Structure 1
Amino acid sequence: MEFSRKGAHLKNIRHLSIVTLCLILVSCTSGTSAPVTTVPPLESATQEAPEPEVQVGLPSSEITEDIIIDEAKPNAWKNIEAAADDTVYQHAQLLVAAESLVYERRNQESQEILGLIDVTQLSHSERVNLDILRARLNQAEGEHRSAVRDLGRLQRSGLTNLDQSVRIARLRAYSYSQLKEPVNMASELVQLYGLLSEDRTQQLEAGHLLWAVLSRMTLEELRDALQKTEDPIARQWYVLALALGLNSVRSDPFEYEQALNNWQQNNPEHPANELIGAGLAPGPVVSSRIALLLPLSSVNRAFVQAMLDGFMAQHAADTNPLKPQIDVIDIGDQPANVTHFYYQAVDNGADFVIGPLGVGFVNEITQYVDFIVPTLLLGETSTAGLPDYVYQFALAPEHEGVGVANRAWQDGHVTALVIRSPQQWSERAFSAFSDSWKKRGGHVIQVYDFELNQSDYSEAAKQILLIDASANRYQTIRAMMGESMKFVPRRRQDADFIYLSADSEHGRLLKPYLDFLKAHDLPIYATSHVYPGKINKIRDQDLNGIRFADMDWIIDKSERMTELKSTLEAGLSVDERVNRLFAMGVDIYNLVSRIEVLSFDPAARFHGVTSIIHLAENGRVLRQPRWAVFENGTPELIPDMAPPELGPIPKLKAGVVQATIREGRE
């Protein structure tokens, strides 16, 4: 091993160009966000969008190489500094530095550092960590088959500790999710669930992901997996999924509960029982009489009726002889009257109240009612001090904005370009997105507000992508050179994804112009508003490539979901404009029997038809939506599982000489 050569290479890393290091500082400095530039509609905008200003904390004339290295992202660079000095040279520290850079989403630099490591200088455990890191970097490059193969070799070696085994199972499950191999993914998650037996929170998190995979597999896939699996623990997972996968069971809460009870009697020691008690099974009957307070005679009666239809359809399908009696109360369109209707419902014997539906009604009731019985409000309020038996369930645009931030960050993006409509729902969704995005460390480099009453967005797309700025640069160079040159307009390069806050009509108008101007490779994320809810391949071709979040009820086209919808919608005519409210009604009915379990157990989840549901500490119902992407005019589901972290953020081991930045050395 030639330390001088390694040291020289490391010092070359340290002496990167000032420009490159400035970019590292701008993109990675903790707590520093690029300010948002809001672009007005085209009529009032200047011809060329202004360049966003970047504040790095020091005047440019004062930035020096050493300051940049000290402040950019100190953890990884300090570890490299430790390795650069012959007196503290430690190959293990290079591995730690490489892992740190992966956490900072600087995969290319991590790869470069891995090339400096002499594997013979590492312990056995460190070599395993090195192989795990290499597999994670392969995943980042989309090389999932290679990652599965290499991690499988480690898995079979029998030489990994518990923490490493957990990381390997997570990573393999993630790769199988990207490869769309649910049977193999389920197999890895069964193993992961067993490995996490000493950590209930993490175990249930893995268990709910496992159940989401099993419940979406076809009955044929489940039977095939059962036939090929010899492990008795895994076999019973498949038996359970088959028992609950029959349509007659899925559509009838009582039969569902009976099937669960039968399985538990036959498998009292199976680890899945922990998951069953955490929301998979309904709790005991908590109500004998439910009152629904709904504004059926208001201007929004079509939406209200759809929600009621979904609720009553699920109630009708429930064969439980002890199912609750339902009182439906029309509260009209005046929020001031809701207090009277609430007390009337309780006086008539209601021991659980659902409603009212709508922000105005919810704000009114939370200010003037002393809640007597458990109540599920169909809207959200900022009123503080509500009893812990008052819950809030809403299909709010704020939740969808946060969902976009979650997914974009999960997919590895950092810099957002926002295109939004002036509609109120869009502004609410963007506000929630922006807050969530900045908390994660993401940047919003520009916000463009488009006009609704347009049919041609070509000029708007040019402004969004700074095409005119590219043309202006060409004209300047041409004038300097004094001759014509070949010119291809170049779109802006400072964004790594677009958040499109628009409905389907405007999405279809905007997306083709963005594609034409060379932004077809820029990922676009949207809320459910971009999809009307019914497949139309011809109409939605122009939405191809857009990723969006929605309900299982809307975008899951599997045989099992199709059968369930047919059963519950039988005899009804559910319009595509209100079918999300119908699904909400279905979930509300099933949520009542699980509400206590969800409120007392933070790890509990309810797998509904709108999404996977859990409760926040303030009683708010939170949904984990499904994601799809338009392909050939049709929404196609995309994997849910996030790229797993490698483990705890790497730190220097005790006893290793701590490195200092050059200026601070004695």
Structure 2
Amino acid sequence: MIACLRLFTALCLAALLAACASSPSSSLGELPRTPDASLEQLLQQAAESTNPEKAALLRLSAADLALRQHNNDRAAQILAQVPLDQLKPAQQVFASTLAAELAMSRNDPKAALTALNHPSVSRLSELPTDLQVRTHTVHANALEADGQTLAAARERAAMTPNLTGDAANSNNEAIWALVAALPVDQLQAHSNDVLGGWMSLALTVKSAGTLQDQQNAIDQWRAQNPTHPAAIQLPAPLIKLKELASQPLTKIALLLPQEGQLASVSKALRDGFMAAHYQAQQAGQNPPSIQFYDSSRLTSLDEFYRQAQADGVQLVVGPLEKPLVKQLNARPQLPITTLALNYSEGAQGPAQLFQFGLAAEDEAREVARRARADGLTRAGAMVPVGEWGNRVLKAFREEWEAHGGTIVGVEHIDKPVALAQQVADLVQLRKTAGGSATPSRRQDMEFIFLAATPQQAQQIKPTLNYQYAGDIPVYATSHVFSASGDQNQYNDMNGIRFCETPWLLDPANPLRQQVTAQWPQAGGSLGRLYAMGIDAYRLAPSLGQLKALPDSRIDGLSGSLSMSPTQRVERQLPWAEFTNGQPQRLPATPN
């Protein structure tokens, strides 16, 4: 998608440089001409001009030239000398577009959107098409960077009539990438215009189950929308799906330990995996056959793959053991595509290796996304002492700071007796002016990121209340919830928000009800592993789809699943809040 955007931006700039002077109308004003002078000559002419409008046009041309020469600081300095409010509308649009492009070069989409919020931009459709394309492009890029995916797609669709050839194709690929990233509920509210057609295509692809179902649905959509740009030229990822559909999956190897420390974890994963398999059979599908292999008796990965190949296996699900996953990740290639049920450390492994697990790092990133969507920018953090806590904090920090968030304090939770003091240290209680003994909390901390056990959380929330900091929101990972059904355990956690698997937040799910009827323990914290096993089964035939459609998702029971560029399955989770000792599901945040 990034390559498409770069190509499209280059094409737009080329079109702009070739454009001549434009005078839309006397009321809109003249646009800057494509300069035939150097930067210094333009500025000299502006300084010598006695006509304020001509001087402004020359400076706009100079700022534009500096931007194209990648001299962004100089472009910003020149643009700051142009009196925006004294310009005519066409010039205001041009200046606002320049300001937005400069803001995007600083990775500041909010400043870009502010620049494009100028009233003059409402008259963009009256201006020459090259400026329309340029403004729509930076507006779309800013909206996308700000997380406003649907609005970015709408902006790109608006310039569709003004594009032809490669520029049109690149824009169409960018529109598809955006709408493919939208959740299903947003796709359902589509209109009958060009963007609505893109959204209905995305809904069609996401609603179909198997690759063959997707192909049939796409063919039907094209027949119903023969003049739509996507019907005339399918997006590249959908063309790749056609290739995948010609390779149906018929046999899977399930490689899990039957003995040792991970045997109970393995059993929950296996039972969930097979529950999904039996559900597919009951639904009248023709699922692949499953062959079991015991990784606890494994002596050689090479020997295992030789045996699996001889058995006709097309996909391996497993292993679970981290040392084995690490070995696979270090290999240059694998003889059979493999979905490991754990994550290795380090760089991306061979092209045939995919990795999936219940990573706490996913939840830390989820907390950062949710807090940002809720409008928060300054965080405190409480994580356990040790390697696990450090990894979780690192994931939270990277996601949080990458989007402009700030961490103003961190405490590493250790012994229970120290918790009260650690909470006090984190919120930095102070005495008020005049020496009053009434403490007050620091005002630069808007919420606390918490990764802790239920027992620790039971102490932390009341301590915040005791320390006059009970108004600080707490956003936690799922580790605060044991799903024990003991309401008393959570009464002291009222108000804590936490992310959790759909499995544990949706007791009415039919498959969950079937599984818990047979294995009651699946209704508790072990349920996360049953959900992961079910999702591993659902991921198995879809790895190629997720790779071909990197912005697409599978709505799983362990979370909303997507594929990272390093072929690791990442989860986004729904949210709940403890209310009267019970987890109450919260509405999803807007995209």
Shorter-chain TM-score: what band? 0.5 to 0.7
8 Å CA contact 1:547–1:627 kept in 2: the answer is no
Give the Å deviation of 1:611. 1.9
**How far apart in 2 are the matches of 1:453 and 1:398?**
24
2:223 counterpart of 1:274: no
Q: Which residue of 1 aligns with 2:20?
A: none
2:381 counterpart of 1:401: no
Q: Which residue of 2 aligns with 1:325?
A: 289
Q: What CA deviation, in whole Å up to 9, does each residue of 1:417-470 have, x standing for no partner?
A: 22112365333212333456567776544321224545x954442232122xx1
> Does 268-277 or 533-542 show the bigger shift?
533-542
1:577 corresponds to which letter in structure 2?
Answer: S
Q: What CA deviation, in whole Å up to 9, does each residue of 1:69-92 have, x standing for no partner?
A: xxxxxxxxxxxxx9xxx9999799
8 Å CA contact 1:201–1:603 kept in 2: the answer is no
Q: Which residue of 1 aligns with 2:439?
A: 489
2:135 corresponds to which letter in structure 1?
Answer: Q
Q: What CA deviation, in whole Å up to 9, does each residue of 1:558-589 have, x standing for no partner?
A: xxx96675698596543332333333334333
Give the Å deviation of 1:327. 0.7
Q: Which residue of 2 aligns with 1:429?
A: 392
2:126 counterpart of 1:162: no
2:459 counterpart of 1:501: no
**How far apart in 1 are the matches of 2:198 and 2:570?**
28
Give the Å deviation of 1:510. 1.4
1:210-359 matches, within 5 Å, as 210-211=179-180, 213=182, 215-216=184-185, 222=188, 225=189, 229-231=191-193, 234=196, 237-238=199-200, 241=203, 258-267=216-225, 270-271=228-229, 273-274=234-235, 277=238, 283-316=245-278, 317=280, 323-332=287-296, 340-359=303-322
Q: What CA deviation, in whole Å up to 9, does each residue of 1:402-423 have, x standing for no partner?
A: 4545665677766542211236
2:530 corresponds to which letter in structure 1?
Answer: F
Q: Which residue of 2 aligns with 1:636?
A: 586
Give the structure, 1 or 2, with the largest relative contact order (CA under 8 Å, sep 6 or more). Answer: 1
Q: What CA deviation, in whole Å up to 9, does each residue of 1:226-270 have, x standing for no partner?
A: 6xx44366267448737965xxx65x7765664455334444664
2:89 counterpart of 1:126: no
TM-score normalised to the size of structure 2? 0.64
Residue 637 of structure 1: SS of its match in structure 2?
coil
8 Å CA contact 2:333–2:350 kept in 1: the answer is no
1:579-658 matches, within 5 Å, as 579-599=527-547, 601=548, 603=550, 605-609=552-556, 610-617=559-566, 620-623=567-570, 625-626=572-573, 628=575, 630=577, 632=579, 633-641=583-591
2:562 corresponds to which letter in structure 1?
Answer: I
8 Å CA contact 2:97–2:135 kept in 1: the answer is no
Give the Å deviation of 1:388. 2.0
**How far apart in 2 are the matches of 1:151 and 1:325?**
63
Q: What CA deviation, in whole Å up to 9, does each residue of 1:329-385 have, x standing for no partner?
A: 2223x6756555444323322232221112133235556997322222222224778
Residue 326 of structure 1: SS of its match in structure 2?
strand
Q: Which residue of 1 aligns with 2:460?
A: 510
Question: Equivalent pairs: percent with the same residue?
Answer: 21
**How far apart in 2 are the matches of 1:262 and 1:288?**
26
552 and 129 in structure 1: CA distance in 2 versus 1, 3 angstrom threshold? farther
Give the Å deviation of 1:290. 1.6
Residue 318 of structure 2: SS of its match in structure 1?
strand
**How far apart in 2 are the matches of 1:550 and 1:302?**
21
Q: 2:479 aligns with which of 524, 529, 538?
A: 529
8 Å CA contact 1:204–1:603 kept in 2: the answer is no
564 and 405 in structure 1: CA distance in 2 versus 1, 3 angstrom threshold? same
384 and 231 in structure 1: CA distance in 2 versus 1, 3 angstrom threshold? closer
Q: What CA deviation, in whole Å up to 9, does each residue of 1:81-140 have, x standing for no partner?
A: x9xxx99997999xx9xxxxxxxxxxxxxxxx99x9651236535358759999x9xx98
TM-score normalised to the size of structure 1? 0.58
Q: How many residues align?
A: 496
2:184 corresponds to which letter in structure 1?
Answer: S
1:344 corresponds to which letter in structure 2?
Answer: Q
8 Å CA contact 1:291–1:326 kept in 2: the answer is yes
Query: Could you say what the CA RMSD is over the residues aligned between the two structures, in angstroms?
Result: 5.3
1:441-480 matches, within 5 Å, as 444-451=407-414, 453=416, 457-467=419-429, 470-471=430-431, 478=435
8 Å CA contact 1:339–1:365 kept in 2: the answer is no
Q: Which residue of 1 aligns with 2:52?
A: none
389 and 163 in structure 1: CA distance in 2 versus 1, 3 angstrom threshold? same
1:491 corresponds to which letter in structure 2?
Answer: R
**Which blocks of at least 5 consecutive residues in structure 2 are unaligned?**
1-42, 50-54, 64-78, 104-108
8 Å CA contact 2:454–2:480 kept in 1: the answer is yes
1:26-37 matches, within 5 Å, as none
**How far apart in 1 are the matches of 2:205 and 2:398?**
43
Give the Å deviation of 1:287. 3.6
8 Å CA contact 1:416–1:499 kept in 2: the answer is yes
